[in-house]
Amino acid sequence: MNYTLHQLQIFSKVVELKSVTKASEELFLSQPAVSMQLKKFQDQFSIPLTEVVGRQLYVTDFGREIAEAAEKILAEVEAINYKTLSQQGKLAGKLKIAIVSTAKYAMPYFLSGFMEKHPGVDLLMDVTNKAEVIKSLENNEVDFAMVSVLPEHLSLNKIELMQNKLFLVSSTNFSLQNKRITKTIFEKHPIIYREKGSATRAAMEKFLSSLNVPDKKKIELKSNEALKQALIAGLGISIMPLIGLKNELKDNELQIIPFKNLPIKTNWNLIWLQSKKLSPVASEYLKYIQSEKEKIIKDTFSWYEAYN
Question: Is residue 97 within 8 Å of 127, Cβ to Cβ?
Answer: no
Q: Residue 195's pLDDT is what?
A: 85
Same domain, 140 and 153: yes
Per-residue pLDDT band for 279 (boundaries 50, 70, 90) equals confident
Percent of the chain with pLDDT over 70: 94
Task: State pLDDT tens for residues 158-174.
Answer: 999 998 999 999 999 88
Q: For residue 8, what is the enclosing H or E element?
A: helix 5-17
Gap between the Cα atoms of 283 and 305, Å rounded: 30
Same domain, 290 and 260: no
Task: Kindly state the greatest CA–CA separation across the chain.
Answer: 77
For the full predicted model, state whether its pTM sits above 0.75: no
Residue 86 has pLDDT above 90, yes or no: no
Question: Which residue, 87, 109, 131, sits at the end of a domain?
Answer: 87
Same domain, 110 and 77: no
Domain that holds residue 29: 5-87
User: Which amino acid is present at 99?
Assistant: I
Same domain, 289 and 152: yes
Percent of the chain with pLDDT over 90: 33
> What's the CATH number where 60 sits?
1.10.10.10
Same domain, 241 and 120: no
Domain count, the chain: 3
Residue 254 has pLDDT above 90, yes or no: yes
Q: Residue 73's pLDDT is what?
A: 84
Q: Residue 169's pLDDT is what?
A: 95
What's the rounded mean pLDDT across residues 273-302?
A: 91
Same domain, 64 and 141: no
Antiparallel, parallel or unpaired: β 156-171 and 264-273 = antiparallel
Which of these, 171, 286, 295, lies nearest to 231 by C-alpha position? 171
Residue 7 has pLDDT above 80, yes or no: yes
What's the rounded mean pLDDT across residues 289-305?
A: 91
Same domain, 260 and 171: yes
Q: Residue 197's pLDDT is what?
A: 79
Residue 290 has pLDDT above 90, yes or no: yes
Residue 54 has pLDDT above 90, yes or no: no
* Alpha-helical runs (H) found in 60-155: 61-87, 112-117, 130-138
Q: Residue 16's pLDDT is what?
A: 87
Per-residue pLDDT band for 251 (boundaries 50, 70, 90) equals very high
Per-residue pLDDT band for 17 (boundaries 50, 70, 90) equals confident
Task: State pLDDT tens for residues 173-216.
Answer: 887 765 678 888 888 888 999 888 788 888 888 999 898 887 66
What's the rounded mean pLDDT across residues 264-287?
A: 90
Q: Which of 6-10, 90-94, 222-226, 227-231 has the lowest mean pLDDT?
A: 90-94
What's the rounded mean pLDDT across residues 73-79?
A: 76
> What's the CATH number where 155 sits?
3.40.190.10
Residue 3 has pLDDT above 90, yes or no: no
Residue 253 phi, psi dihedral angles, 5° rounding: -90, -30
Same domain, 32 and 99: no
